[in-house]
Amino acid sequence: MKRENQSSTSKFLLLGLPIQPEQQGVFFALFLGMYLTTVLGNLLIILLIRLDARLHTPMYFFLSHLAFTDVSFSSVTIPKMLMNMHTQQQSILYVECISQMYFFILFGCFDNFLLAVMAYDRYVAICQPLHYTTVMRQELCISLVAVSWFFCCIHALLHTLLLVQLSFCAENTIRNFFCDLPSLLKMSCSDISINELVIFTEGGMLFTLPLSIILGSYVHIGTIILRVPSTKRLFKAFSTCGSHLFVVSLYYGTLAGAYFFSSLWDSNDKYIVASVIYAVVTPMLNPFIYSLRNRDIKQALEIFLSRANFLK
């Protein structure tokens, strides 16, 4: 493409949600409530895990990191969306857009790795219960989290550096409520073959590897349980893994709907709806999923509330 048909874009326009102007106030209140629920719910889980010594185990160590990631993941996109809805402005600076995309990829990737680590933790707890304390020692837990952070930082940085090398056309409208990589690539006037190659190779590997660990862990868990069928054992395994399985299904289901099957849809509105579920709804539901079905979290919450009442 000729040079004169390209422009040095200094800002982009976020179209936001496909809602009518008279509905802005209702949706602003709705998403503000969802964001506050996400932040307060996940921070409460982190606080309970820190305060209750009984929750100082590998499973809750990983859960605290998942809660922190959910708060960060939501904070990347929702505050900007709320500000645009309140001010009726849709613009976002180029630097802000690129930064938002980087952190969105970073925390989304880390969420992916954490779910795999938590699945491995459940595998060791159920399939190798006698060796659990020796296998899932503190050094290993910290190393797994640190390695996940390292690879996710490299992953997000790689896609960001490749993106900033591209030129953008005069069309600078993003048909979403945040800066996501697929939308930015569609607006580029440059050759994006390298970007697509990296997405399908490196990005695909970082997606399929954690998913393979999750599936492999639960296949082994199911095999162990079915060898000696027992209602008590089955109930115990479900109570231990049920919450995590639900989160995994919700995470990968909405992720696939937002990015892998979006090309099959006849409307961009469906893509935005899937993005809302993936980026907004899922982080909000995690505290409820883990707390409502978790006896330890409930007991820690009861102790915390009784202490708070006593101090009053």
**Mean pLDDT computed over every residue of the chain:** 84
pLDDT, tens digit, 9 for 90 and up, residues 19-70 = 887 888 899 999 999 999 999 999 999 999 998 888 899 989 999 999 999 9
pLDDT at 144 over 70: yes
Q: In the chain, what percentage of residues exceed pLDDT 90?
A: 37
**CA 73, CA 93: separation in Å to the nearest integer?**
20
Q: Are 247 and 293 in contact (CB under 8 A)?
A: no
pLDDT, tens digit, 9 for 90 and up, residues 103-124 = 999 999 999 999 999 999 988 9
Assign 79 a pLDDT band (cuts: 50, 70, 90): very high
Q: Are 240 and 63 in contact (CB under 8 A)?
A: no
Closest CA to 101 of 165, 163, 179: 179
pLDDT at 300 over 60: yes
